[in-house]
Chain A
Amino acid sequence: MSRENAERRQSISIDPRYVGRLAGTLLGICLATALLLGVVNQVTKPRIDAIQREKQEAAMAQVLPAERYEPAEAAAGGVTALYRAFEGAEPAGYVVQVTANGSQGAIQMMVGVDVNGAVTGVSVIKHSETPNIGTKVVADQAVLDRFIGMSRDGGEITVNTGNNRFDGVTGATYSSRGVADGVNAALAAVAALS
């Protein structure tokens, strides 16, 4: 590299006006973008929140229909939210939101449990299981409905074996186990509560 070239390079890097222009332009673009994002967020946030709440309530109503849900403290691992359900003043059971490990990642699901500790319904909210394999468990309501009526009376729910048996789907063992683990965690959380 020639000496002249090196000098010019140095003079560019320390010229305060040039550096100021670089930083100023970038700052201006960032500020304009941030302002725009703020406006869009202001407009969309109420709608997004409403859609989220609606989805949550629909999932809760599906696993355990009740008049009113009240949040409660959840103690067990994997449980992200726990609600007591009421029909008027009468307790109707519990709705547990739980995250379990599937074969490809977390399976977020909602489990309804009645006052006697039996499952009233299972609904998968979010998952990333393999299409056509894991989805034969998590996206098939008929398979998820096999949990209805199961409880901790026979011990932990196990897949394709044991007394308290859940019939999984062939080829989707890990997804079946994941969902069963989620139901077990939900039942444990309810048992710890009552």
Chain B
Amino acid sequence: MHIGKQLKEGLLTQNPVLVQLLGMCSTLAITTTVANGIGMGLSVTIILTLSNIFISLLRRIIPEQVRIAAYIVVIAGFVTIVDLLLQAFFPDIAESLGVFIPLIVVNCIILARAESFASKNKPLAAAVDGLCQGVGYTLVLLVMSAIRELLGSGTLAGTAVFPGEYAAQMMALPVGGFLTLGFLIALMQWARSKAGKGGK
């Protein structure tokens, strides 16, 4: 068990969004407000952890030729369960995340972790991996949505920071999503190259 290493990978060196460049679509689309970012991040973390555990448990049973189909069924099952539970018990979050919850089924972070980690490791390690990667994803969503909500609407987590008239609407639109993500990825690459040089 290497919890520290896995956590570092999930948050920094193998961050699913900024380094592996997975799950771009949902990242760009839902990071307009901090509340959406947190809701989506937590949903993905829960589904990722559950699907990692189950795929790890089933790793010796699932034949190689049909593994992708089997993963998709397991992931889709958990997504539907989380979707139904959100609708029944947290209708406000379910409403603001809308169509993006069902779309977690095809979020490639989950399939990628199933294929590259959960199918080769024990359930406990897979659960830790799901948790760490999910936290890494949530953190990026949080940073992106904070930047976009602040610059795009002049609010932070719903509370007004400066009057909305002075906000750059562009930041709340898809353009702002691409810009923010681009800057964050560049920042991450710069930090990684710095760290790499320092190590040598």
Contact assessment for B88 and A47 in the assembled complex, using a CB-CB cutoff below 8 Å: yes
Contact assessment for B153 and A25 in the assembled complex, using a CB-CB cutoff below 8 Å: no
Q: B147: shortest Cβ distance to chain A, in Å?
A: 15
Q: A36-B81, A40-B85 are in contact. Are A29 and B63 (CB under 8 A)?
A: no
Q: Give the contact-size bracket for chain B.
A: 20 to 34
Closest 6 interchain pairs by CB? A33-B77, A44-B88, A47-B88, A44-B84, A132-B169, A131-B172
Contact assessment for B167 and A37 in the assembled complex, using a CB-CB cutoff below 8 Å: no
The number of residues on chain A lying at the interface, defined by a beta carbon within 8 Å of a beta carbon of chain B, is 20
How far, in angstroms, from A132 to B70 measured CA to CA in the complex?
42
B63, B76, B173: the one contacting A22 at CB < 8 Å is B63
A41's nearest neighbour on chain B, judged by CB, is B84
B69, B85, B167: the one contacting A44 at CB < 8 Å is B85
Contact assessment for B73 and A25 in the assembled complex, using a CB-CB cutoff below 8 Å: no
Please give, as numbers and ranges, the residues of chain B lying within 8 Å of A43 by CB-CB distance: 88
Beyond A29-B62, A40-B81, 8 additional pairs, beta carbon < 8 A = A21-B63, A25-B62, A26-B70, A26-B73, A37-B77, A37-B81, A48-B88, A131-B32
Interface residues, chain B, with chain A CB atoms under 8 Å away: 32, 58, 61-63, 65-66, 69-70, 73-74, 76-77, 80-81, 84-85, 87-89, 91, 152-153, 164, 167, 169, 172-173
Please give, as numbers and ranges, the residues of chain B lying within 8 Å of A26 by CB-CB distance: 66, 69-70, 73
Contact assessment for B58 and A29 in the assembled complex, using a CB-CB cutoff below 8 Å: yes
Contact assessment for A132 and B172 in the assembled complex, using a CB-CB cutoff below 8 Å: yes
29 contacts between A and B (CB under 8 A): A22-B63, A25-B61, A25-B70, A26-B66, A26-B69, A29-B58, A29-B70, A29-B73, A29-B74, A33-B73, A33-B76, A36-B77, A36-B81, A40-B81, A40-B84, A41-B84, A44-B84, A44-B88, A47-B88, A47-B89, A48-B84, A51-B88, A130-B173, A131-B152, A131-B153, A131-B172, A132-B153, A132-B164, A133-B169
How far, in angstroms, from A3 to B35 measured CA to CA in the complex?
60
Q: A89: shortest Cβ distance to chain B, in Å?
A: 35
Contact assessment for B87 and A44 in the assembled complex, using a CB-CB cutoff below 8 Å: yes
Q: Is A58 an interface residue (CB 8 A)?
A: no
Q: A41: shortest Cβ distance to chain B, in Å?
A: 6
Contact assessment for B74 and A33 in the assembled complex, using a CB-CB cutoff below 8 Å: yes
Please give, as numbers and ranges, the residues of chain B lying within 8 Å of A132 by CB-CB distance: 152-153, 164, 167, 169, 172
Which of B88, B169, B172 has the most chain A CB atoms inside 10 A of its CB? B88
Contact assessment for B87 and A51 in the assembled complex, using a CB-CB cutoff below 8 Å: yes
Contact assessment for A25 and B81 in the assembled complex, using a CB-CB cutoff below 8 Å: no
Please give, as numbers and ranges, the residues of chain B lying within 8 Å of A37 by CB-CB distance: 77, 80-81
Q: Is A191 an interface residue (CB 8 A)?
A: no
